[in-house]
Amino acid sequence: MMAAYNFSPPDAELVGERWEQIWQERLKHSEPWGLSFIRNREQGAYWGSRSVAPDYDRISCAVLLIEGWADWYASAELRAFQRLQSPRKVIIGPWGHYYPEERDAFPGPRIDARREYLRWFDHFLKGIENGVVAEPPVSIFVRGWQPPSLFTAEETGTWRNETTWPPESVQHEPVYFGNDGRLAEAPEEGKEVFAHRPSVGVTTGRLGLGSTTPWGMPVDQRFDDIHSVLYDSEPFENGIHELLGEPQVSLYVSSTAEIAYFAIRLCEVAPDGASRLITEGGLLAGRRRGADQDAPLVPGQVTQIDIPLRHCAYTITPGNRLRVAVSSALFQNAWPTGQAAHHSIHRGVRYPSRIVLPIIRVGRTPLPPPDFADTSIARTPEDTLPPPVYVLHHDLVADKLTCELAAGNAEQQGHNSSRYTVSNRDPAEVSIESSFFYRVSHPTLDIRVETRCLTKSDATSYTHSSTVDIKVGGQPYFHKDWTTTVPRGRS
């Protein structure tokens, strides 16, 4: 999609007669983003020069951070909020990859975010004393239980103001992985063994929902629980109320492979067994000492791996359980590691595998909630949303799983399609074939842009290929192919 957009012409009505000259410069100097990603898979100067992390002190201006739990960046924005020294405020709502006032900002509830931008800019750019700096700097939507669904129009929950993140009243409480699939108050001796299965993670949904807008939300997690190691709590009573912050998992693991990925899902489980994803996280074991340090596992040796989960704000329903699910893949959101393996989770006093939960107990008096205005933009009626093609194919003979997606409209934002295939038999064999077709808005010309990408891996390399085809008035106007192959390394 981004290749198609980036190779499209500028708006002729905005830039005037030079539109085609500008377009030619763009066609000459642009290349698909996927190439740079494949060429720069290691943390280093390329990414460091493009990121505000870790040197947040470079920022001295006032910063307003706005994000949604269903998007990619909530944790990154909350980490930035924690580290910035300049005036800052963060708003985290329930939405996916949208502005919070947009007609398609699912899941709701939506707010009039433009009002918040204006108040922020009025104060910091115009010096207007409107009270914005006296307000609590953290406004978050605290989600709660509802049956998991592929499409959710409105989240269950409430808005909350806080003075810090995580709130000062949060207690970071360890819960240990115990015998018989239980979460225990103290370490219990034992271990669990599971196989690397690249197809685990089909229920986690698409972070950001960008390829299936607004579908692709996490569904009932039990389909993936079958192939995960599970640890369940007892039903919660009224003593624990909310999770606010960043859960942390410490795993003591051994593996038959040097290269492994460990994925964690934290879920709330209802009495009928329905399992809702609260948050998740994963880590390539070789990066456990830092994103720029390569530390492969020693097969058979027990190693501690600390995995931060995505930040969350969630109310636990009395009578429901918490579940920690451990696997070796997050199919829809992480590229599988390439070595077949069996992994062991070790437990006990010497190997205290556990999750540390950011807990607020009942009885705290919360601050008054934020005074957000409702947006005046009418929401897209649910019954007018065209459902995407979103299909899973399991080839039982080859034991391959394919996720097929198709969404959008070529006459509007564009039509997006892809086929993502992983092999449980050969984890190194992965491919994503994708295409995007887009009709550019122009006052007189029929301009059509089509892009195709193939990203694949085997045991030794990654390859990314891209093609851009442009037609004007039905005639070929531009065509170019790119291919990059890089060593797979320790991934």
- Is a pLDDT exceeding 80 seen at residue 275? yes
Q: What is the pLDDT of residue 210?
A: 60
Mean pLDDT of 446-456: 96
Q: What is the pLDDT of residue 88?
A: 97
Q: Let me know: does 467 contact 476? Beta carbons within 8 Å.
A: no
Q: Let me know: does 428 contact 457? Beta carbons within 8 Å.
A: yes
Q: What is the pLDDT of residue 291?
A: 82
* Ranges 30-44, 70-84, 458-472: which has the least confidence: 30-44
SS3 per-residue string spanning 125-142: HHCCCCCHHHCCCEEEEE
**pTM of the predicted model, to two decimals?**
0.95
Cα 312 to its chain centre, rounded Å, is 12
- Is a pLDDT exceeding 90 seen at residue 335? yes
How far is residue 74's CA from residue 76's CA, in Å, rounded to a whole number? 6
Q: What is the pLDDT of residue 479?
A: 98
Q: What is the pLDDT of residue 251?
A: 98
Domains belonging to the chain, first-starting first, are: 171-361 (2.60.120.260)
Q: Let me know: does 266 contact 247? Beta carbons within 8 Å.
A: yes
Percentage of the chain lying above the pLDDT 90 cut = 83
- Is a pLDDT exceeding 80 seen at residue 348? yes
Tokens 């892809």 correspond to what residue? 418
Q: Let me know: does 56 contact 80? Beta carbons within 8 Å.
A: yes
Helix (H, G, I), strand (E, B) or coil at 23: helix
Mean pLDDT of 355-379: 91
- Is a pLDDT exceeding 80 seen at residue 192? yes
Q: Let me know: does 250 contact 354? Beta carbons within 8 Å.
A: yes
Mean pLDDT of 472-489: 96
- Is a pLDDT exceeding 80 seen at residue 336? yes
Mean pLDDT of 156-161: 96
- Is a pLDDT exceeding 80 seen at residue 229? yes
> Which of 31, 41, 72, 40 minimizes the C-alpha distance to 453?
31
Mean of the per-residue pLDDT values for the chain? 94
- Is a pLDDT exceeding 90 seen at residue 133? yes
- Is a pLDDT exceeding 80 seen at residue 238? no
- Is a pLDDT exceeding 70 seen at residue 160? yes
Q: What is the pLDDT of residue 39?
A: 93
Fill in the DSSP letter of residue 104.
Answer: T
Q: Residue 487 CB: number of other CB atoms within 10 A?
A: 10
How far is residue 65's CA from residue 82's CA, in Å, rounded to a whole number? 12
- Is a pLDDT exceeding 90 seen at residue 188? yes
- Is a pLDDT exceeding 80 seen at residue 412? no
Q: What angle do CA 476, 477, 481 make, to 5 degrees?
A: 90
Helix/strand/coil percent split, the chain, to 5: 15, 35, 45
Q: What angle do CA 1, 3, 437 make, to 5 degrees?
A: 50
240-245 and 312-315 beta bridge pairing: antiparallel
- Is a pLDDT exceeding 70 seen at residue 209? no
pLDDT per residue as tens digits for the range 391-411: 999 999 999 999 999 988 877
> Which of 113, 171, 130, 166 minimizes the C-alpha distance to 363?
171
> Which of 93, 86, 41, 40 minimizes the C-alpha distance to 68?
93
In Å, the largest CA–CA distance within the chain is: 74
- Is a pLDDT exceeding 80 seen at residue 81? yes
Mean pLDDT of 111-134: 97
> Which of 447, 438, 441 minimizes the C-alpha distance to 475?
447
Residue 239 banded pLDDT, cuts 50, 70, 90: low
Q: Half-sphere exposure (CA, 13 Å, Cβ side) for 9?
A: 28
Residue 424 banded pLDDT, cuts 50, 70, 90: very high
Q: What is the pLDDT of residue 66?
A: 97
Residue 137 banded pLDDT, cuts 50, 70, 90: very high
- Is a pLDDT exceeding 80 seen at residue 363? no
